[in-house]
Amino acid sequence: MAVCSAYTTQSLNSTCSISTPAKTHLGFHQKQVVFYRRSSKRGGSGSSSSPCVITCSAGDSQTVVIGLAADSGCGKSTFMRRLTSVFGGAAEPPKGGNPDSNTLISDMTTVICLDDYHSLDRTGRKEKGVTALDPRANDFDLMYEQVKAIKSGVAVDKPIYNHVTGLLDPPELIKPPKILVIEGLHPMFDERVRDLLDFSIYLDISNEVKFAWKIQRDLTLLKTLQRDMAERGHSLESIKASIEARKPDFDAYIDPQKKYADAVIEVLPTQLIPDDNEGKVLRVRLIMKEGVKHFSPVYLFDEGSTISWIPCGRKLTCSYPGIKFHYGPDTYFGNEVSILEMDGQFDRLDELIYVESHLSNISTKFYGEVTQQMLKHADFPGSNNGTGLFQTIVGLKIRDLYEQITSSKTAAPLEATKA
């Protein structure tokens, strides 16, 4: 069903002409259908016509928009791969486009990186003394107008921020998908953009875990390049300093967005190992807001109860330090939430089916789908702990949300015709 806007109230006893696609100054692509109302003058042979312009989007139905917020290096890319896998098809850059494009397109989804809305390139930020986290380095007006257009079924020419060169490249055409995911630093910062989201997620990585991950990532890179830390100018102190340098802007502009999120995946140090600082064993919490349309929080055993569960035993292999689950109601920034927590890691993913069988409202299509998805991506980071488990579950919940939204939109016109 096309989405149309009528600009006059003329009756449609008319002829019709369809214009060629028009492009607005904001990079939108649209088609106009122009109806001419014919009217005869009494007492004469003359006639007049007045136009009625209807602008229609190109899409078959309104796009569902998902927002994913997190700092750099917090697992957004892995989450996107898990999410697009749930909907089918590999997520790939636009064919024949800019090889440095940040966009990923699959059968049903398009993922755009909000870094593309940087208003300042790398040199410009350095000259003005601002980071990419600072709102002054981003064009929220264009972000809002283009996300709104895509949601309405209108294609846009989206800018590209080149992470390799640090420059702003020529734009690329983004056609309306069934599901648009906007991921990056600021999907919930601007109220106008926030109001366009059908569902929102925040990845909340604690400073301790973030520091441990960055050390592991940088050391792996250094080994790959066969350079030592001294040659590249890296040290544990410099890595920590780079995180601390971003912290004021992160605390001011990124972290506050989590209060708006419908679901938060919070990654913390384990409580199973005293004074652990390696970040290899994690405690992960899935915080789910109550009362969100088309979304029912996942629960363990009994909805609304407070439950602690150690599943290790005959049906789940657990090496040291084991696995512990917790579930219960709570409040989060003044909102009622349900929280599902996992501390520890799986030894064998094929045994995850035992845990899955005790979870409800996980929106699977068949028994064992969560386990199947986890095994399918066993090589992804976090596949042996709560990050992978909860990312997979949220992906399934988003699929269910999409199906509910599209079903309700299909039913609405049918109900209108009966009225």
The confidence score (pLDDT) of residue 316 equals: 93
Cross-strand bridge partners of residue 53? 34
Residue 257 tokens, joined: 């967005």
Taking the C-alpha atoms of residue 59 and residue 380, their distance in angstroms, rounded to an integer, is 34
Contact 132, 114 (CB under 8 A): no
Taking the C-alpha atoms of residue 224 and residue 57, their distance in angstroms, rounded to an integer, is 48
C-alpha distances (whole Å) from 96 to each of 116, 141, 155 are 19, 28, 17
Cβ neighbors of 225 (< 8 A, separation 6 or more) are: 232
The confidence score (pLDDT) of residue 40 equals: 42
For residue 203, the SS3 value is strand
Contact 308, 325 (CB under 8 A): yes
Length of the chain: 419
Per the listing, tokens 């989405």 go with: 3
The confidence score (pLDDT) of residue 22 equals: 53
DSSP code of residue 357: T
pLDDT tens, residue by residue, 164-189: 999 999 999 999 999 999 999 999 99
Half-sphere exposure of 306 (CA within 13 A, CB side): 2
170 preceded by a cis bond (ω within 30 of 0): no
Taking the C-alpha atoms of residue 234 and residue 225, their distance in angstroms, rounded to an integer, is 13
The confidence score (pLDDT) of residue 218 equals: 61
What is the pTM (predicted TM-score) of this model? 0.82
Q: Torsion angle, CA of 390/394/400/404, rounded to 10 degrees?
A: 140
DSSP code of residue 332: E
C-alpha distances (whole Å) from 386 to each of 170, 199, 265, 304 are 39, 21, 9, 21
Residue 18 tokens, joined: 């369809």
Q: What is the pLDDT along the chain (419 residues), one digit of tens a residue?
A: 444 444 333 333 333 344 444 555 456 555 444 433 344 444 444 444 444 444 444 445 689 999 999 988 788 888 988 998 999 878 888 988 899 999 999 989 999 999 999 999 999 999 999 999 999 999 999 999 999 999 999 999 999 999 999 999 999 999 999 999 999 999 999 999 999 999 999 999 998 887 777 666 665 555 544 444 444 455 667 667 767 788 899 999 999 999 999 999 999 999 999 888 777 899 999 999 999 999 999 999 999 999 999 999 889 999 999 999 999 999 999 999 999 999 999 999 999 999 999 999 999 999 999 999 999 999 999 999 999 999 999 999 999 999 999 988 776 655 655 65
Q: What does the domain layout of the chain look like in residue ranges?
A: 64-201, 262-404
* CATH class of residue range 64-201: alpha beta
What is the chain's percent helix, strand, coil content, to nearest 5?
35, 30, 40
Residue 338: closest CA among 352, 347, 327, 349: 327
C-alpha distances (whole Å) from 77 to each of 83, 87, 113, 238, 380 are 10, 16, 10, 25, 10
Taking the C-alpha atoms of residue 290 and residue 328, their distance in angstroms, rounded to an integer, is 12
Taking the C-alpha atoms of residue 193 and residue 172, their distance in angstroms, rounded to an integer, is 20
Per the listing, tokens 């024949």 go with: 96
Task: Output Rg (C-alpha) for the chain, integer angstroms.
Answer: 25
C-alpha distances (whole Å) from 410 to each of 52, 62, 416 are 27, 11, 11
Pairing of strands 179-184, 109-113: parallel
Cross-strand bridge partners of residue 316? none
The confidence score (pLDDT) of residue 35 equals: 39
Contact 101, 160 (CB under 8 A): yes
Neighbour-count burial for 254-267, b at 16+ CB within 10 Å, e otherwise: beebbebbbbbbbb
